[in-house]
Each structure stands twice: as structure tokens, then as C-alpha cells.
Amino acid sequence: MNIKPIVGALLSATVLGISAPAFADTELKVYISSQHQPQVWRKVLDQFEAANPGTKVTIETGGNTSEAQAQYLNTIMSAKDSSLDVLILDVIRPAQFAAAGWTSPFAGKDMSVYLPAYAEANTVDGKVVALPAFADSMFLYYRKDLLEKHGVQPPKTWDELKAAVKKINGAENNPDLQGLSFQGKAIEGAVCTFLLPYWSQGKNLVDNGKLTFDKDAAVKSLKLWKSFVDEGVSKKNIAEVATDDTRKEFQAGNVVFAVNWSYAWAQSQSKDSAVAGKVGVTRLPAVTGGESATCLGGWEWGVSSYSKNQDAAKKLVEYLSSKDASKYMAANGSLLPTYASLYQDEDVLKAAPWFADAKQVVETAKPRPVTPRYNEVSEVIRTTVNAVLAGVTTPEDGAAQIEARLRRILR
């Protein structure tokens, strides 16, 4: 792909709104997840430095799960540590960080330029507390070559997926080929794992901060995921699988279907990928009789309230959340844009053709429960999902535990 036009746009002072004198001898440190391709973000930061002489930006990378990142940042921010200027935050965290006084608001920022879900996620009590880094939702990745070889269409339901796996794996007769990889480890991804078939049944978990738990739907969701293990569609130790484990397994050619976020696309097409050119991406299957549902993801840029370089840090975040930066990361890192028009951009679609259909998926993705006590809600769900998949508890008992514990949290 020819990235010269993109780089040229990134360097454009008009596009970036750079008219004031550059900050002299300013050093900024940006915290980025190790999972979110810091090597690609580094190139974007290089362009910012080139356009802002005297400003030096360094990257500090963190853990590859939302929980590991949050735990580290909670420690840093609780100590009022000024070493980090800019933070990347999971979409579920801007409100939490703002409530703790850990991020600085952006005055007068027009959020209408972004996809509505991200304008909403970053606005708390009328204040813009962070700006979008990239959009995301969960998709179904599949081995296009294997499906075509065995005359199988991408599944519309989870039952169709099971049948496809049994047909393909039966014919391939490869004991190392896993049918479906998903997130079973007790991480944030396991919350989405639980919610996908739960939502697909037309149920919500929380409305206006109040619990609307449907026990039968919860049992059905947990039974579905456990059945993948019991029927040999997924591996026995799926309870140990985190998001990047799924990505690595699929990229190594050891999985037919995988539930994952958009970042996995670019890496699946890399030169060291065993499946480059053999991957398809589609919306997630539905439960039989239900509608396809997916989990809203995405990451946001916040400025630490303890940064000693507030103006410079905000200028950097404005840049990192600009349309040109979003286009660059979409084309070079397969990170979904937060600008609607980029889903039809020629350069972006050349790099990731499936983005043409991704906008509708992102726009209809469901957010995880909105509540000030989300961290507690998350812990209940992800640890219970993990216990069911590990065989420690049954789907029925797991659903009962989730209901009882959430009623105490959300009463």
C-alpha cells in the first residue's frame, strides 16, 4: 500500500491545526498496551515529533489484557505519579478514571466528528474526559481456505458453526486443528464471551443501572460455551485462553474459527503468519432463533491529571485522535476507525477489505453494563464464566451465582 498520501496528511500543519509555536524541549511519555501494536503507533508519534520540533515522545508499554493495564494504571494514578502524560484506556474506563480525578477534561471539544458510541463513552457529566484512539467490536475470524475446500459457508448460528467444525475437522483429521478459539480466561474478554449469546436471545443485563438479569438466558449462554469444550469443538483448557492466545493460535494455523477483535487482522496477514491470504472475517453467529450480537470495544486516549505537560499532552491526544491518525492506524494496524467516512476510504479498504462491512457491526455493537460499579460486575461474570469452562461449576450454578452476586452489587 502506498502510504505517502497518508504520511503527507499526517504532516500537514493545516490538518493538525498546528499554528502555535512548538513546545520547546518537552518530553512526553505515552502508555500503550503491548497488544495494540506500539510499533505502528511509534510511526505516528514520529510524524508528530517531526511536525513539533522540540517535543520528544516516548512509549511505555503495558500488559496485554485490559485487567493488567488497569491494575498498573490504578497503581500509578493512585500514587499521583507524574511520569505518564498520556494513557490508553479501555472503552469501559474513561468514566471510572474521570470520577477518580485521574484525567484532565478537554474544554470545547466537538465530539460529533466521531462515531456516536465513542463520543458518548468519552463524555461524562457533560465533560469530554478522553478522546477516541480506535473503535472495535468482536468478529468471527475463519479459515477461508478450509471452508472453501470443504464446501462450508460462514456460519450464521453457533449451531451451524459446530456442524462446520465437525465436517471440516472430520475431513482434515488433524488432531492439532482446533475448531473454535475464544476467551475463557478470567479476563475482560470473558465478560463479552458470556454476553454474546445472552444478548443474542434479546436480553439485557442492566438497564438504567438496574439489574434485568434473565436466568434462563444466562444458563443457555453458559451451556453453549461449555458445550464447545464438551463436544471437542474447542480445546479442553479453553479456560486458560486470553485474547492474544486466540490471536496466536489462529495465526499459527491451528484454529478454524476464532472470536476476536479487529487488531488480529493485520497480524494474521503479516509475513510470519501461517494463514496470510487465507482469512475471512464476518459478524458473529447468533443463537438459533436469535439475532447476531457483538460487544462494543475500543480504546481511548486520556491525559493524566498529574502530567506536568498538560497543554503539550492534550495537543498530542488531539493529534492521536485525528482523522489522519485514525486512517493511518486503520490502514497499517487494522484498528477500526472512529470516523464514519474512513470505512469507505480507498487506502483503508485496500489494506482491510472487510472494513467495508464493519461500520454497521460497530454501530450496532452493545456496550457492556453501564454502572459506576462495573469493575465488580465484570469480576463476577468473568470469574464465573471461567469456572464453568474449567468444569469447577455447572452452567446452572454459575447462572445462579451471577444473579445472586449482581443483585448485591446493583441493589
The answer to whether residue 309 is domain-embedded is yes
Q: Are residues 393 and 278 in the same domain?
A: yes
Residue 12 is predicted with a pLDDT of 45
> Does the pLDDT of residue 207 top 90, yes or no?
no
Q: Are residues 157 and 103 in the same domain?
A: no
> Does the pLDDT of residue 13 top 60, yes or no?
no
CATH of residue 385's domain is 3.40.190.10
CA distances 153 to 141, 183, 289, Å, are 13, 24, 19
Nearest by Cα to 153 from 145, 164, 162: 164
pLDDT bracket for residue 3 (50, 70, 90) = very low
Q: Are residues 383 and 349 in the same domain?
A: no
The answer to whether residue 391 is domain-embedded is yes
Residue 4 is predicted with a pLDDT of 45
| Percent over 90 (pLDDT), the chain | 84
Which range (223-227, 259-263, 365-369) has the least confidence? Answer: 365-369
pLDDT bracket for residue 215 (50, 70, 90) = very high
Cβ-contact 106, 314 below 8 angstroms: yes
Q: Are residues 164 and 96 in the same domain?
A: no
> Does the pLDDT of residue 155 top 90, yes or no?
yes
Q: Are residues 47 and 150 in the same domain?
A: no
The answer to whether residue 16 is domain-embedded is no
Q: Are residues 158 and 252 in the same domain?
A: yes
- Domain hosting 99: range is 26-136+297-364
Mean pLDDT of 25-30: 96
Residue 142 is predicted with a pLDDT of 98
Q: Strands 26-33 and 55-62, how do they pair?
A: parallel
Mean pLDDT of 319-347: 96
> Does the pLDDT of residue 14 top 60, yes or no?
no
Residue 209 is predicted with a pLDDT of 77
Average pLDDT, the chain: 92
The answer to whether residue 289 is domain-embedded is yes
The answer to whether residue 290 is domain-embedded is yes
The answer to whether residue 337 is domain-embedded is yes
> Does the pLDDT of residue 21 top 90, yes or no?
no
Q: Are residues 329 and 382 in the same domain?
A: no
Distance CA 35, CA 162 (A): 29
Q: Are residues 148 and 174 in the same domain?
A: yes
Domain count, the chain: 2
More confident residue, 393 or 22: 393
> Does the pLDDT of residue 5 top 90, yes or no?
no
Mean pLDDT of 254-282: 95
> Does the pLDDT of residue 397 top 50, yes or no?
yes
The answer to whether residue 14 is domain-embedded is no
Q: Are residues 399 and 251 in the same domain?
A: yes
Q: Are residues 98 and 147 in the same domain?
A: no
| Percent over 70 (pLDDT), the chain | 94
Helix axes of 38-51 and 323-333: crossing angle, nearest 10 degrees? 150
Mean pLDDT of 121-136: 94
Distance CA 150, CA 177 (A): 15
The answer to whether residue 259 is domain-embedded is yes
Distance CA 322, CA 156 (A): 36
Residue 24 is predicted with a pLDDT of 52
Q: What angle do CA 302, 305, 309 make, to 5 degrees?
A: 90
Q: Are residues 378 and 395 in the same domain?
A: yes
Q: Are residues 246 and 219 in the same domain?
A: yes
Write the pLDDT tens digit of every residue in 36-94.
Answer: 899 999 999 999 999 999 999 999 998 778 888 989 999 999 999 999 999 999 999 99
Write the pLDDT tens digit of every residue in 139-153.
Answer: 999 999 999 999 999
Mean pLDDT of 177-196: 97
> Does the pLDDT of residue 118 top 50, yes or no?
yes
Mean pLDDT of 193-221: 94
